[in-house]
Amino acid sequence: MNAQEKIETYCHKLRLPYIRDHYKTEIDNAVKAKLTFHDFLHDILKGQILERIDNTINRSIKSAGFNSIKRLEEFDFSFQPQIDEKRIRELGNLQFIEDKQNIVFLGPPGVGKTHLATSLGVKACQEQLKVSFFTVQNIITELKIAQATNQLVKLMRKLTKVDLLIIDELGYMKLDSISATLFFQLISHRYEKGSIIITSNKQPDQWGKVFNDDVIATAILDRVFHHCHHFIITGKSYRMKNIKVHDPEKQNK
Ligand code: ADP
Ligand code: MG
């Protein structure tokens, strides 16, 4: 084995893929920039660390189960001026997760509820926190399967342990009584133990209809809204932004 092959083998054994793939260019750069041995070693180790952090973040974004990746920087606050941008940006510092507070985004379809919830989740992943994203439909399915297979306690424990649980699209589907009870159990388990972000197209006074049970809905609302930042978004749908609606009144003017 020549020196080059040995370096590559050692890197492989030590799991240093960044160094294996970049040491030649790093050496060239070090020679050109007349780096000291110290600086060279520092730079190449830093490259390896950054790559490892990047991989961890990508893995945690993947395992969170987002429907699509959205970032706060991509959110056009000028399109939705009633959203308090400063409050959202403050939530971006993720103190709410440390403080085990909840966030609720309420509003009609297309106003950016899922986008905002996802982008806070992605930020949490970037800080190497554990995030799980579910639609209501998916989480109910998981809970029902777990119940049917005697795994409910285990699943509840898992869902209680994540740093941030995002539950998207509450209100699109009416829940039967088993689903409503399971949902209540989940909320109770996480109450004051971990943050939840909920998005809903239904205002809280409609949740009784969503859960088909006023008592359960009140118990859920009580716990969710106890330590909670909530946003009522009333603007236009971003999905319809470029769709021109024919307005005969305007045409006649
Ligand atoms: P909701 O969950 O309220 O129905 P979404 O968050 O899914 O709406 O938004 C619908 C689409 O429009 C998504 O692709 C989202 O990224 C985009 N979107 C919504 N609001 C904005 C905004 N203010 N700026 C940029 N993109 C937006
Ligand atoms: Mg949505």
Residue 158: strand pairing partners:
none
Which pLDDT score is estimated for 129? 96
> Residue type at 3?
A
Tell me whether residue 246 is in a domain: no
In a domain, 244, yes or no: no
Nearest residue by C-alpha to atom 21 in ligand 1: 112
Ligand 1 touching residue 39 (CB < 6 A):
no
Q: Does 171 fall in a domain?
A: yes
Q: Is residue 247 part of a domain?
A: no
pLDDT confidence of residue 232? 96
Give distance in angstroms: CA of 180 to centre of ligand 1: 28
Calculate helix-pair angle for 177-190, 214-226, nearest 10 degrees.
Answer: 20
For residue 132, being part of any structural domain is answered with: yes
One domain for residues 80 and 144: yes
Assigned domain for 200 exists:
yes
235 found inside a domain: yes
- Report whether 212 contacts 202 (CB < 8 A): no
**Phi, then psi, of 101 in degrees rounded to 5:** -95, 160
Judgement on whether residues 199 and 230 belong to the same structural domain of the protein: yes
Q: Which ligand is nearest to the CA of 110?
A: 1
Same domain, 142 and 175: yes
Domain boundary among 13, 38, 64: 64
Q: Examine the domain organization and report whether 52 and 87 are in the same domain.
A: no
3 state DSSP class of 246: coil
Considering the domain architecture, whether residues 173 and 94 belong to the same structural domain is answered as yes
Distance 166 CA to ligand 2 centre (A): 12
Q: Does the residue 110 lie in any domain?
A: yes
> At residue 45, what is the residue type?
L
- 129 with 57, same domain: the answer is no
85 lines ligand 1 (CB under 6 A): no
Which ligand neighbours the alpha carbon of 168 most closely? 2
Residue-number span of the structural domain to which 50 is assigned: 3-64
| Ligand 1 centroid to residue 75 C-alpha, Å | 8
Q: How far is the CA of 241 from the centre of ligand 1 (A)?
A: 10
Last residue of a domain, one of 64, 80, 110: 64
**CATH, residue 159:** 3.40.50.300
CB of 220 closer than 8 Å to CB of 207? yes
Residue 42: φ, ψ to 5°: -60, -50
| pLDDT on residue 131 | 98
Q: What is the pLDDT of residue 101?
A: 97
Is residue 118 within 8 Å of 67, Cβ to Cβ? yes
Domain count, the chain: 2
Consecutive 10-residue runs of the chain (253 residues): their mean pLDDT?
94 96 96 96 96 94 96 94 95 97 96 98 96 98 97 96 97 95 96 96 95 96 95 90 67 52
| pTM for the full predicted model | 0.88
Residue 115 CA, closest ligand 1 atom number? 6
- 153 in the same domain as 31: no
Q: Are residues 125 and 209 in the same domain?
A: yes
- Between the CA of 31 and the centroid of ligand 1 the distance, in Å, is 49
Environment class of residue 198 by beta-carbon count within 10 Å: exposed (0-12), middle (13-18) or buried (19+)? buried
